Amino acid sequence: MFPNVRPRRLRRHPRLRDLIRETHLTANDFILPLFVRHGENQRIPIASMPGQSQLSVDLLAQEVKEIEELGIPAVILFGIPEHKDATGSDAVSDDGIVQQAVRAIKAETSNLLVMTDVCFCEFTDHGHCGIVNDNTGMVDVDNDATLRLLAREAVSHAEAGADLVAPSGMMDGMIETIRMGLDDNHFEHIPIMSYAAKYQSAFYGPFRDAAESAPQFGNRATYQMDPANGREAIREVDLDVEEGADILMVKPALSYLDIITRVKEAHSELPLAAYNVSGEFSMVKAAAAQGWIDERQVALEVLTSIKRAGADMIITYFAKDASRWLDD
């Protein structure tokens, strides 16, 4: 009898397909990014990210209620300050936009996990992820000067009530510096999720509109990783594990599924997050708006693939819609 091995037998009955499914996506996998801005009663749609908006602090209460009701466990906050300057001083201010947002959410909800992105690009007038000078003989982000500020930023977020901090600036030594800063200030219980392997990706384009954080000169190639490199990602995550990262992250996700798998294999002992970034979201939205693809099916397929590759959690702008779709 030919063929005697027939994988199709397991695909015939829908309940059997359910039983043998290897990857299960749930609302519990998602972390929703929120863009928080100054002002009152402001909900400003982000043109390049349909359905996403910048929200003023006073509108967060309503927003997080909806997020909690959908069963989404966490948000990650990005801030758009009223004033930007060379050192990104709003980022380390007790009254900074992210600190205000954390307090507002914490005052409203008991259970939502509040994560903060720890970086400077949204707060500096030049749009780079730290202090810029020419100490090394070229205009560049000064690694060690930035480290000192990163620790202050993380501590300030923790003081406001953040449950977890997520440094995204790709500075060498940032995890250890932030760990020491937190511990010195009695925040030894606050975990660090490291954007450990973060690539210099054109998929961040829409985010930079959303966060008004595009670099005003040059690019981020001296700190974010070259998309061509895979082995280097393992070196980056190894360092962050040694420095004390509690959760690792690969970013972006969709063009980096191989990196997700490799990082999960190298460090299966640690939880792994993947960031389904703005450009990945906007591509699906744009094609769906043209009627070229089915948004719901494609989005769920993308998210499932990220989980199948090895991610334990996914930062995604689809979090709310995907949670509703999974509930249907």
Catalytically annotated residues? 198, 251
Min separation Cβ 210 and ligand PBG, Å: 8
Give the nearer residue to ligand PBG in terms of CB position, either 105 or 254: 254
Min separation Cβ 254 and ligand PBG, Å: 12
Is 277 a binding residue for ligand PBG by CB under 6 A? The answer is yes
To which residue do tokens 């991610």 refer? 311
Is 322 a binding residue for ligand PBG by CB under 6 A? The answer is no
Residue of minimal Cβ distance to ligand PBG? 207
Q: Please give the backbone phi and psi of residue 141, each rounded to the nearest 5 degrees, phi first.
A: -75, 125
Annotated ligand binding at 256? The verdict is no
Give the nearer residue to ligand PBG in terms of CB position, either 107 or 150: 150
Give the nearer residue to ligand PBG in terms of CB position, either 169 or 310: 169
Min separation Cβ 17 and ligand PBG, Å: 33
Single out the segment in contact with ligand PBG by CB under 6 A; choices: 113-121, 147-155, 182-190, 261-269. Answer: 113-121
Min separation Cβ 315 and ligand PBG, Å: 8
Is 278 a binding residue for ligand PBG by CB under 6 A? The answer is yes
Give the nearer residue to ligand PBG in terms of CB position, either 58 or 125: 125
Three-state SS for the chain is: CCCCCCHHHHHCCHHHHHHHCCCCCCHHHEEEEEEEECCCCCEEECCCCCCCEEEEHHHHHHHHHHHHHCCCCEEEEEEECCCCECCCHHHHCCCCHHHHHHHHHHHHCCCCEEEEEECCCCCECCCCCCCEECCCCCCEECHHHHHHHHHHHHHHHHHHCCCEEEECCCCCCHHHHHHHHHHHCCCCCCCEEEEEEEECCHHHHHHHHHCCCCCCCCCCCCCCECCCCCHHHHHHHHHHHHHCCCEEEEECCHHHHHHHHHHHHHCCCCCEEEEECHHHHHHHHHHHHCCCCCHHHHHHHHHHHHHHHCCCEEEECCHHHHHHHHHC
Annotated ligand binding at 220? The verdict is yes
Give the nearer residue to ligand PBG in terms of CB position, either 9 or 200: 200
Is 129 a binding residue for ligand PBG by CB under 6 A? The answer is yes
Min separation Cβ 167 and ligand PBG, Å: 9
Is 121 a binding residue for ligand PBG by CB under 6 A? The answer is yes
Give the residue among 272, 124, 300 at the shortest CA–CA distance from 193.
Answer: 272
Is 256 a binding residue for ligand PBG by CB under 6 A? The answer is no
Min separation Cβ 305 and ligand PBG, Å: 17
Tokens of 31: 């972390």
Give the nearer residue to ligand PBG in terms of CB position, either 27 or 174: 174
**How many residues contact ligand PBG, by CB under 6 A?**
11
> Count of CB atoms within 10 A of residue 1's CB?
4
Numbered residues of the known binding site for Mg(2+)? 236
Binding positions for ligand PBG, rule: CB under 6 A? 117, 119, 121, 129, 168-169, 204, 207-208, 277-278
Numbered residues of the known binding site? 119, 121, 129, 208, 220, 236, 278, 317
